[in-house]
Chain A
Amino acid sequence: MKTNYVGKSVPRVDALEKVTGQAIYCVDVELPGMLYGATLRSPLAHARIIEIDTSEATRVPGVKAVVTGKDFPYTFGHMIKDQPFLAMDKVRYANEPVAAVAADTEAAAQEAVEKIQVTYEELPAVFDPRKAAATGAPIIHENLEKYEHSSMYKIVPGTNVCTHMTYSRGDVDKGLSEADEIFQNEFYIHPVAHTPMETHAAVVKYDPSCRVFTVWSSTDAPYQRAKDLAKALGLSFNQVHFFSTYSGGGFGGKGAIVAEGIGVALASFTKGRPVKVVYSRQEELTASQVRLEAFLKLKTGVKKDGTLTARVAEITWDNGAYSSKGPEVARRGALTIFGPYRTPHVEFVSRLSYTNKQPSGAYRGFGTNQVTWACEAQMDIIANKLRVDPVEIRLKNFYQDGDRYINGQIMQAAGLRETLERASRGIGWGEQNSKSAGALVRGKGIATTIKGTATPTDSYCFIKVNFDGSITVLTSSVEIGAGQKTVLAQIAADTIGVPLDSILIPNPDTYATPFDFGVTSSRTTYHMGNAIRMAGQSVRKEILEIAADVLGANPQRLVFREGKIMDRDSEHEMSLKELMTKKYGGKGGSILGDGHYTPARSSIIKAEHGIQWMGSIFWMWATHAAEVEVDTETGVVKVVKIAAAHDVGRAINPMACEQQIEGSVMMGISNTLFEEFKMDKGRIMNDTFADYKVASMLDLPVIVPIIVESHHSEGPFGAKGIGEPALSPTAPAIANAIFDALGIRFNELPITREKVLSALRERDSV
């Protein structure tokens, strides 16, 4: 189908608002009568709360409410209902919210917070998830078994382990016995912060008469947050109303109740006045969400020629003090440890343990950063030992169309080969490395990744064709910064047959925009795109029927493109505006189409009974090829170039795909080389950008974004997704390049300058 917009790099439809400073983010929301919230946080990582004295705080001028866990004794949790809005009998991580204040000004609220006195009884704390998972560790959630939780997550009673997942296929012992060589390696990947430039924030208003909470938030899934709040407070879904603002970045961190929780607790006591809670950067870094830390053990059997025979994995994940989305990361994220490779015999154990640290949650990749780190580092270890080219060993083993995934799903649109070939070409793979210049040594490395999307999930939308031919698309897909609105508008425009600028997509409002699972799991283009296709086809059909009636024509003979309808027989023409005005311009009316997409009934996801959930309606593949230059006297690793190839199915907006690729390469470089939490007794010492370093413009390498299109058979115009897989291969590609340059293997992240220099000294002293 010829398209006017799909496949073109149309400018982002939200860009104008953003370049003029008009875009409203959650931190910008101002409402009449609004109060401001501030939070008192625990200085200790694990302690009983003995007493809280708020008397002095309530006397600060301007203070309207002071709330503790005793006043608001509720818990929430999407997967395991384990997290209090405000700490109740104990605190489980340093900087956990203990009390909150709402006042006329934020300054007054902050002043009042400082006047709250809390007496704690310190408890032994545990910070390493391996220690926390062991018997005898201090128990962080004494009532773990009693928490409401999905049966998908196997809790181990009497321990800190809240998800224990095992899976095996084939016979790993047989597989290992067939191997010519067995590799056993251990890997570590550190927790990192999302650091969106817009910190977590929420404005919450509670109407005590109809018991409705209205929440303004830049969360990535307003329906899920509304659902979790309603459940936590014993309300019907109708009683929690979310308005989505623009988001100043989320990267998964806004996929949980964070500032909203404090806002809800405070608004319950401010007699209908809205309360705004904005996290400071320090709160953002220490008390929001982080990527799950993981210890990974991988044992792989290979034949001499590089064919994989068996893989056994053991992963221990750090949940932090509260679950957030940790359980699903540990359950589903774990699976792709086997990589995009056919392996006849696989087995894994995945364990998620609480620790007395900041809650871990969804982070761009949902577990794939962690498992790709291990898998792709080991592929290179294997390639190096067997003297097989790293690209070749991957080509030898990777999934192709028609292969079966570990759950029996048949793979389609497997564009991995093309990503491998084009990315490696992009950095001159196989060509000799540039000669060392003095202390500077160069190296190249590649890594691949596989990621699926949560399947099945649902997306609904409405499309209104207004009485003047303008079009409003009602969707709960949030513009989190990746171009969701633009891509969805392009799909709508081409499906209906109208100019792009006749379409407006307002921000989500859970009273008006229908259900969406969320802007998460790289799913929006595919799922909401398909819902929009369905709704768009429906309104298009109705437009043609009305046109046939008005023009006295045969609907099959009508051409409708770029907002113009033409009758091929009579050659009469009419614009959509004229048509709608004729039909509805008098007393008003509109055309309304709806679309509900779910992949639940697609034959693509058919797999073996009971493990269909392991599959995905679409798989995303990517290869990153990195060239680094190491200063062997200072340990400075400069990323010279990264060629990043991504199979997106179909690029609805190539420029937007480049934004994702280029952007996550930067995030990957940052996570790999600069970012690190420095802890002291569970307290994060580097709680500002002064010491939690994030990549700046001066760290930008040459980035070559490569778009591969494998055309998914059921994706909108063949599209799949891109947001997350863009990040996973960067770390192992860099580490593999460093190995090529120095012969030093880093199995732990981050790879800081100091660690590189230290490893060089050790290498050279031998």
Chain B
Amino acid sequence: MNRLKPFAYFEPTTLPEAIEILAAQEDGAFLFAGGTDLLVRMKRGVIKPSAIVNLKRIEGLDQIKKEPGRGVRIGALATFSAIENSHLLRLSHPVIAQAVSVLACPSIRNLATMGGNIGRASPASDAAPFLMILSAIVSLKGPQGERELGMGEIFSGPGTTALRPAEAITSLFLPDMATHSGAAYLKIGRREGMDCALAGVAASVTLSGVKIEAKDTKIALSAVAPVPMRAKKAEEAILSERLTEKCIRKAAKLASEEISPVSDMRASASYRREVVRVLTYRALMIALQQAREG
């Protein structure tokens, strides 16, 4: 059997308590939310925590709440299932349910949390791209108090975040989407079943009132750079021209050029580039269609 090695275990009931424990343990303590990344890496010996701090006894960290006139706040401990099935989010940010449906599989989604996914900072995160195109803001709390980081600031490298020692993600805030907006997340793996993205593309398009020009667009990619990233050059191309199919093709090509994919046992860099170009085009087309209908 794949088993865990012994660790010191803590079950704080408040966030300040959790932070205090983290601070006291220094580097050896890991926060434990869904465990679907943490326990796997522990069993594989990739990380060897001396202590685990279980966040799930703390009340109120898993709420999905509307902030009227502003957006939706998702608690760090909300599971991806809760997020996928949230009636509120299906109305306010439909791309989330669509994207989450290709994240792992149902039984994993019943455990895995949004906060855990961001904290893990996998370059291939399926959540980061849609959070980026939705301009999510991450709320943190630590010994020095509370602060916020944007999605462009939260990841500092593959598997590392900009969190300070003993800091925890408490929630993510998603501003309401503008009218005439559409968004989609497309991903490709090695088979149709659950797989780590070889490349993932989230794209959103917001049309101007007359619906022929893009007022705003965001394109975010995973698995093709050290951290999930925005394809800024591609975005600029969309915004600087009339929104034609040719323009979208050009943007897709730019996206494939501004990434820095690696070749690893999953896929080669050149395959990733090809696929990014195709998925960016397709995601933009879907987003555009939705924006026109919406």
Contact in complex: A754, B193 (CB < 8 Å): no
Q: Which of A598-648 contact B (CB under 8 A)?
A: 633-636
- Is A71 positioned at the interface, with any CB of B under 8 Å from its CB? no
Given A278-B1, A674-B190, A752-B190, answer yes or no on A685-B265 (Cβ-Cβ < 8 Å): yes
Known: A634-B278, A691-B265. A696 touches B192 (CB 8 A): yes
CB of B268 within 8 A of CB of A698, answer no
Is B3 in contact with chain A by the CB < 8 A criterion? yes
Q: How does the 8 Å CB contact mask read for B244-279 relative to A, with 1 for contact and 0 for none?
A: 000000000000000000000111101100110011
Instruction: Report the bound CA distance from A161 to B188 in whole Å.
Output: 42
Tell me the complex Cα distance, A434–B121, Å: 44
In the complex, per-residue mask of A67-111: 1 if CB is within 8 Å of any chain B CB, else 0: 000000000000000000000000000000000000000110011
CB neighbours (8 Å) of A697 from chain B are 193
* A106, B2: Cα distance in complex, Å: 10
Residues of chain B with a CB closer than 8 A to A278's CB: 1
Give CA–CA (A761, B275) in the complex, Å. Answer: 13
CB distance from B14 to the nearest CB of A (A): 33
Q: Smallest distance from the beta carbon of A75 to chain B beta carbons, Å? A: 29
Nearest residue, chain B, Cβ from A107: B3
Please determine whether A754 and B1 come into contact, CB atoms closer than 8 angstroms: no
Find chain B residues with CB under 8 A from A674 CB. 190-191
A280: Cβ under 8 A from any B Cβ:
yes
Is B154 close to A, CB under 8 A? no
Contacts known (A280-B1, A636-B188, A754-B271); A696 close to B194, Cβ less than 8 A: yes
CA distance A753 to B189 in the complex (A): 9
Q: When the two chains form their complex, are residues B275 and A106 in contact, meaning their CB atoms are under 8 A apart?
A: no
Q: Give the contacting residue for A696; candidates B3, B44, B193; CB below 8 A.
A: B193
Q: Which residue of A lies closest to B4 (CB)?
A: A107
CB-CB under 8 A for A699 and B265, given A106-B3, A634-B275: no
On chain B, the residues within 8 Å of A678 by CB distance are 265
Give the distance to chain B from A651, nearest Cβ to Cβ, in Å. 31
Instruction: Please judge, given known A-B contacts A106-B3, A107-B3, whether A634 and B196 are in contact too, CB under 8 Å.
Output: no
Q: Does A673 contact B (CB under 8 A)?
A: yes
A690 in contact (CB, < 8 A): yes
CA gap between A752 and B268 in the complex, in Å: 12
Which chain A residue lies CB-closest to B190? A693
CB < 8 Å neighbour of A695 from B2, B191, B266: B191
- A678-700: which residues lie under 8 A (CB-CB) from chain B? 678, 685-686, 688, 690-691, 693, 695-699
Whether B268 contacts A699 by the Cβ 8 Å rule is: no
Is A281's beta carbon under 8 Å from chain B? yes
Residues on A with C-beta less than 8 A from B3 are: 106-107, 110
How far is the CB of B46 from the nearest CB of chain A, in Å?
Answer: 12
Query: Could you say which residues of chain B place their CB within 8 Å of the CB of A685?
Result: 265
Are B271 and A757 closer than 8 Å at their CB atoms? yes
Q: Does A177 interact with chain B (Cβ within 8 Å)?
A: no
Checking B1, B44, B191, B268 against A693 with a beta-carbon cut-off of 8 angstroms, the contacting residue is B191
Closest A residue to B196 by beta carbon equals A690
- Collect the chain A residues with CB atoms within 8 Å of residue B267's CB: 754
> Does chain A have a CB within 8 A of B27?
no
- Residue on A nearest B281 in the bound complex, by CB: A633
Any B CB within 8 A of the CB of A758: yes
B59: interface (CB < 8 Å): no
Given known A-B contacts A633-B278, A634-B275, A693-B190, A686 and B1 have beta carbons under 8 A apart: no
Give the distance to chain A from B127, nearest Cβ to Cβ, in Å.
Answer: 18
Total interface residues in chain A, CB < 8 Å: 32
Given contacts A110-B3, A757-B274, contact A686 B193 (CB under 8 A): no
In the complex, chain B residues 139-197 whose Cβ is within 8 Å of any chain A Cβ: 188-196
Q: How far is the CA of A522 from the CA of B275 in the complex (A)?
A: 43
A695 and B193 form a contact (CB under 8 A): yes
Nearest Cβ in chain B — how far from A218, in angstroms? 17
Give complex CA distance A754, B274 in Å: 10
B192 x A699 contact (CB < 8 A): yes
Chain A residues near B270 (CB, 8 Å)?
Answer: 758
- Contact status of A673 and B265, CB under 8 A, knowing A280-B2, A634-B275: no
Mark out the residues of chain A between 715 and 766 whose CB falls within 8 Å of any chain B CB in the assembled complex. 752-754, 757-758, 761
Interface centre among A280, A754, A761 (most CB of B within 10 A): A754
A655-675 contact mask (Cβ, 8 Å, vs B): 1 or 0: 000000000000000000110
Q: Which residues of A contact B271 (CB under 8 A)?
A: 635, 753-754, 757-758
Q: Which residues of B contact A633 (CB under 8 A)?
A: 278
A695: chain B residues at CB < 8 Å are 191, 193
How many Å from the CB of A64 to the closest CB on chain B? 19
Shortest Cβ distance from residue B190 to the other chain A in the assembled complex, whole angstroms: 5
Q: Is the CB of B275 within 8 A of A673?
A: no
CB distance from B212 to the nearest CB of A (A): 24
A665 to chain B, nearest CB (A): 15
A754 touches B2 (CB 8 A): no
The distance in angstroms between the C-alpha atoms of A106 and B194, with both chains bound, is 30
CA distance A278 to B1 in the complex (A): 7
Chain B residues, Cβ within 8 Å of A761 = 274
CA distance A693 to B192 in the complex (A): 10
Question: Measured between C-beta atoms, what is the minimum distance from B207 to chain A in Å?
Answer: 24
Task: Report Cα–Cα, A280/B2, bound state, in Å.
Answer: 6
- Which one of A634, A636, A699, A758 has the greatest number of beta carbons of chain B within 10 Å? A634
Which residues from B are CB-within-8-Å of A107? 3
Task: Give the chain B neighbours of A280 by CB distance below 8 A.
Answer: 1-2
CB of B144 to closest CB in A, whole Å? 37
Residue of B nearest to A631 (CB): B278
The residue of chain B having its C-beta at the shortest distance from the C-beta of A750 within the complex is: B190
A630 to chain B, nearest CB (A): 13
Most A CB atoms within 10 A — which of B189, B193, B267, B275?
Answer: B193
Q: Is the CB of B191 within 8 A of A696?
A: yes
Contacts of B279 in A (CB 8 A): 634
Q: When chains A and B are docked, how far (Å) is the Cα of A752 from the Cα of B195?
A: 14
B188, A699: Cβ atoms closer than 8 Å? no
Cβ–Cβ contact B191 & A754, under 8 A? no
When distances are taken between beta carbons in the complex, the residues of chain A under 8 Å from B189 are 693
Tell me the bound Cα distance from A636 to B274 in angstroms: 13
Nearest A residue (CB) for B186: A634
Fill in one digit per residue for B45-61: 1 if any A CB lies within 8 Å of its CB, else 0.
Answer: 00000000000000000
B282 CB to nearest chain A CB (Å): 8
Residues of A within 8 A of B192 (CB): 696, 698-699
- A699 CA to B44 CA, complexed, in Å: 28
With a cutoff of 8 Å between Cβ atoms, the chain A residues found around residue B1 in the complex are 106, 278, 280
Name A27's closest neighbour in chain B (CB-CB): B1
A674 and B194 CA atoms in complex are apart in Å by 12
Least Cβ–Cβ distance between A731 and chain B, in angstroms: 16
User: In the bound complex, do residue A673 and residue B191 qualify as a contact, i.e. CB atoms below 8 Å apart?
Assistant: yes
Chain B nearest CB, measured from A695 CB (Å): 7
Check if A754 sits within 8 Å of B188, measured CB to CB: no
**CB atoms of A699 and B191 under 8 A apart:** yes
Cβ–Cβ < 8 Å partners of B5 in chain A: 111
- Hey, what's the 0/1 contact readout for B215-244 against A, CB within 8 Å counting as 1? 000000000000000000000000000000
* Cα–Cα, bound, A678→B265 (Å): 6
Q: Is the CB of B268 within 8 A of A754?
A: yes
Complex Cα spacing A761 to B271, Å = 11
With a CB–CB cut-off of 8 A, which chain A residues contact B191?
673-674, 693, 695-696, 698-699
Report the minimum CB–CB distance from A753 to chain B (whole Å).
Answer: 7
A106 to B5, CA, bound (A): 12
CB distance from B15 to the nearest CB of A (A): 32
Q: How far is the CA of A691 from the CA of B196 in the complex (A)?
A: 9
Residue of A nearest to B194 (CB): A696
Give 16 new A-B contacts, CB below 8 A, not counting A280-B2, A282-B2, A686-B265.
Answer: A107-B3, A111-B5, A634-B188, A635-B271, A674-B190, A685-B265, A693-B191, A696-B191, A696-B193, A698-B191, A699-B191, A699-B193, A754-B267, A754-B271, A757-B274, A758-B270
The contact sample of 12 A-B pairs, CB cut-off 8 A, is A278-B1, A282-B2, A633-B278, A634-B275, A685-B265, A696-B191, A696-B192, A698-B192, A754-B267, A757-B271, A758-B270, A761-B274
- The list of the 3 closest CB pairs from A to B, nearest first, reads A696-B193, A698-B192, A678-B265
